[in-house]
Amino acid sequence: MNNLAITADEQRQYQQHFVNANPVNGRLPGAAARANLMQSGLSTQQLGEIWELADIDKDGALDLDEYSVALKLVFSLLAHAIPAVPPVLPPGLIPASKYQHFGSSANLSPPYASPRPADAPAALEWYVSESDRARYQQLFAQHARGGHVRLLDVDEFLGGLGVGRPAATQAWALVDVRKYQQLNQEQFTYLLHILSAHLRGAPLPPTLPPA
């Protein structure tokens, strides 16, 4: 999913969609944006997850860059280019205009940002915000069976996150401390937290923090 990016042709199409939706002061109000996105036929849950990713500055409206992100995710799902809404915004979809919400904006190449400058590695913070935890728990509920998520059941999902299978496998091995090949909700939360940080440039941790 690292290769998930908006092409120049797509950007022109999305800009026309945006103009046709009658933005106000350069933004589509929440109700108008949602009404347009609902025409895709995707589930309310999927559209809610897309909104959480696309409304980067959390102002309840979408500007052109944010609306383009939403449309890219919608069309990627409809075309089965991705198996599910990603838990975090893939680096290739982070607009340069919004990179300040994700970290340093140095060394960016418009129109979209690289994951993070090589000379400014991200650090993994073990604290999981309430909003992230809620999103990860929602993903757990989608994939869990009998209170656990099995590796075989989420192999395709993890493969689509954009971190690469070796990294996903390494992170799974780290949180699967009993080597049962299944994770409870808390373990799955930390798995996604680790992989989300890795997408932003943080190295995979060698160990878990002390209990």
Q: What is the pLDDT of residues 89-139, one digit of tens each?
A: 888 888 877 877 775 433 333 333 333 444 444 568 888 888 788 888 888
**What residues in the chain have per-residue pLDDT under 50?**
1-2, 104-121
Rounded Cα distance between 80 and 65, Å, is 22
Please give the helix or strand (H or E) that residue 24 lies within, else none: none
Q: What integer pLDDT is reported at residue 106 of this predicted model?
A: 31
Does the predicted TM-score (pTM) go above 0.75? no
d(CA 72, CA 80): 12
pLDDT of residue 47: 92
pLDDT of residue 191: 92
Tokens of 172: 């799974």
What distances in angstroms separate CA 128 from CA 19, 33, 137, 173, 197, one per listed residue?
37, 29, 12, 20, 11
How far is Cα 26 from Cα 57, in angstroms, rounded to an integer? Answer: 14
What's the pLDDT at 184? 94
Within the chain, residue ranges assigned H as helices are 8-20, 30-38, 44-54, 64-78, 130-143, 151-159, 165-175, 185-199
Predicted local distance difference test score (pLDDT) of residue 70: 94
Say whether 90 sits in a helix, a strand or coil: coil
> 3-class DSSP state for residue 159?
helix
pLDDT at 105: 36
> Which amino acid is it at 51?
W
The Cα–Cα gap between 206 and 171 comes to 9
- Do 1 and 83 meet the contact criterion of CB atoms below 8 Å apart? no
